Chain A
Amino acid sequence: MKHSKFILLYVFLVSFGISLCYCAVPSGQPNGIDRGVKGDSLSSEKTLFRKFADYQKKGRVAISRAMRKLRKSSNVSVYAFVWLFLFSFGYGIFHALGPGHGKAIITFYLLHCKASIRDAVKLVGIIVFTHTALAVIFAFLFYTILRGMKDMAGITMQNYFSFASGIVVAIIGIVLLLKEIKNKDVRNSIAVSDTNIYLMGISAGIVPCPISLAIMLIALSTGMWYVGFTAVLAISLGLALVLFLVAVCIEKSRDGLLKLVASNNRISRFISNGLAYGGLIGVILLGIFLAAFYFPVMLP
């Protein structure tokens, strides 16, 4: 099969994602009235969400140690730099494989339209660049003019930016859907416009990467901005690689599906219409979900 490598990688990603979502059923007793059993302990019953969080924590610790080693050694060795880069790159890949809305936005958007590999690269590039660049910019701001604000700023920033991201994504989805309804004759071959890619990419990546922000803050505080920048760059490359794979797999599988039914005009039209509308409805619902999730925590 022509795209078997992509598919194998993606199957790994998908099984990981599905197992996370369906096996890791969160439990909780909000009313505190479940008496449980004397000696109940969940230390041996970690959900997959928790296991994933534990692995992410280990990745952060590895980056932190590599940075500290560089910070505390009198001579900065190339070897230590390479380790930091590799740890950070691996972390970026793992980080992107975990839960997050970026993959869902890419999926819905690319279901809606016919994109080339170049478009996929552009979309992923914009998402990752926005996600990382904003973190670096905020790190510089917190280190300089907004010094008093940096403590636990990550959590507040995540809430506000995620809310904003949700709103913008939903609005873009609605605008595209309205356009789509107007131009119903061209639905079979919706081309990706650069403006839409930029809008979608920026709105999906607008939440500054908290890890990059923290890395840059530590690096700036210790006067080793280039160490932080190396780590952040490597994380971004790892993120971009995974998101690019997602984009390519979605695009190829969408293409494959449409080619399969190309001989039957009615079915072909039905499926392409379904994807075009379904993708946009997905974008809108995802935007609403994000905004609704973060809205209550922003209230005083």
Chain B
Amino acid sequence: MYIRKTCLFIVFVLGSINLAFAHPHVAIDTHPVFVFDNGYFKGVSVTWTWDEFFSDQVIVDYDKNENDKFEPEELAKVEEFFHNIKDYSYFSEIKINGQDVAEIKIEQFSAKINPFEYTLTYTFFIPVNFKLTDGDMIISYINNDPTIYISFSTECTAEGLDEETKNVDIFDSSVKNHSYYGYQFMIVAHKK
């Protein structure tokens, strides 16, 4: 009796306390592609598909004519909205041989509505322009929100990371969990 009650008490308490983490409220399916050209690591081309719930908010707010397409002026507003996460470095980190790339910038932003899934897909490019040197270059792209507001998922496999490579040999690639809800995509490149 003593043992049972004491054990139950301990289990109740530990169980409740152990759940003191935050949880995500928005989900993004991410698919990065490492882009190489002419001995340079040009950057990462990223595709993000937002969950249906979050997409609904953006579509309701920005697709004013409800034609399931963003006209140029609507797209400009979506892009402006997207840059609100600049302070969070677009939840992206790029590391080359373990060193952070100074600042995450966004180019070639585009957004489209997937009318059947009712989701929103953003595509953008993060430029790096790093000249590859002799030897292995370990390049990683991380999608993670340290505030645990956003969770990342991916259907991306390691083979799909190096679709755009010119004059570069890819020796190795991997997709790994990063922190609680992030992903790390890694590639080992070698100049030809």
Q: Are B186 and A210 in contact (CB under 8 A)?
A: no
Q: Are B25 and A64 in contact (CB under 8 A)?
A: no
Q: Are B147 and A159 in contact (CB under 8 A)?
A: yes
Q: Are B13 and A111 in contact (CB under 8 A)?
A: yes
Q: Are B57 and A214 in contact (CB under 8 A)?
A: yes
Interface string of A145-188 (1 = CB under 8 A from B): 00000011011001100100000000000000000000000000
B102: interface (CB < 8 Å) = no
How many residues of chain B have a CB within 8 Å of chain A? 72
Q: Given A26-B180, A35-B138, A53-B23, are A60 and B18 also a contact pair (CB < 8 Å)?
A: no
Give chain A's interface residue range (CB within 8 Å of chain B): 35 or more
Q: CB-CB < 8 A to B180: which residues of A? A: 24, 26, 47, 49
B98: interface (CB < 8 Å) = yes
The segment out of A5-13, A76-84, A120-128, A191-199 that lies at the interface is A5-13
Q: Are A60 and B51 in contact (CB under 8 A)?
A: yes
The segment out of B36-44, B103-111, B122-130, B171-179 that lies at the interface is B171-179
Q: CB-CB < 8 A to A107: which residues of B? A: 12-13, 16-17
Q: Given A104-B20, A253-B9, A254-B9, are A38 and B179 also a contact pair (CB < 8 Å)?
A: no
Q: Report the Cα distance A56→B15, complex, angstroms.
A: 20
Q: Are A41 and B175 in contact (CB under 8 A)?
A: yes
A257: interface (CB < 8 Å) = yes
Q: CB-CB < 8 A to A28: which residues of B? A: 176-179, 182, 184
Q: CB-CB < 8 A to B154: which residues of A? A: 43
Q: CB-CB < 8 A to B26: which residues of A? A: 154
What secondary structure prevails in chain A residues at the interface with B? helix
Tell me the minimal C-beta distance from B178 to chain A in angstroms.
Answer: 4
Of all chain B residues, which has the CB nearest A65? B52
Q: Report the Cα distance A49→B182, complex, angstroms.
A: 11
Most chain A CB within a 10 A radius of its CB, from B81, B88, B147, B156: B147
What secondary structure prevails in chain B residues at the interface with A? mixed
Q: Report the Cα distance A210→B147, complex, angstroms.
A: 13
Q: Are A21 and B18 in contact (CB under 8 A)?
A: yes
Tell me the minimal C-beta distance from A4 to chain B in angstroms.
Answer: 11
Tell me the minimal C-beta distance from B78 to chain A in angstroms.
Answer: 10
Of all chain B residues, which has the CB nearest A209? B25
Q: Report the Cα distance A11→B8, complex, angstroms.
A: 9
Tell me the minimal C-beta distance from B89 to chain A in angstroms.
Answer: 11
A221: interface (CB < 8 Å) = yes
Q: CB-CB < 8 A to B177: which residues of A? A: 26-28, 42, 45, 47, 50
Q: Are A40 and B53 in contact (CB under 8 A)?
A: no
A189: interface (CB < 8 Å) = no
Q: Are A60 and B179 in contact (CB under 8 A)?
A: no
Most chain A CB within a 10 A radius of its CB, from B11, B20, B26, B51: B20
Q: Are B12 and A31 in contact (CB under 8 A)?
A: no
Q: Given A104-B17, A107-B13, A152-B81, are A253 and B8 also a contact pair (CB < 8 Å)?
A: yes
Which B residues lie at the A interface, using CB under 8 A? 1-2, 5-6, 8-9, 11-27, 51-54, 56-57, 60-61, 81, 84-85, 88, 95, 97-98, 118, 138-140, 142, 145-147, 149-151, 153-159, 171-184, 186, 188
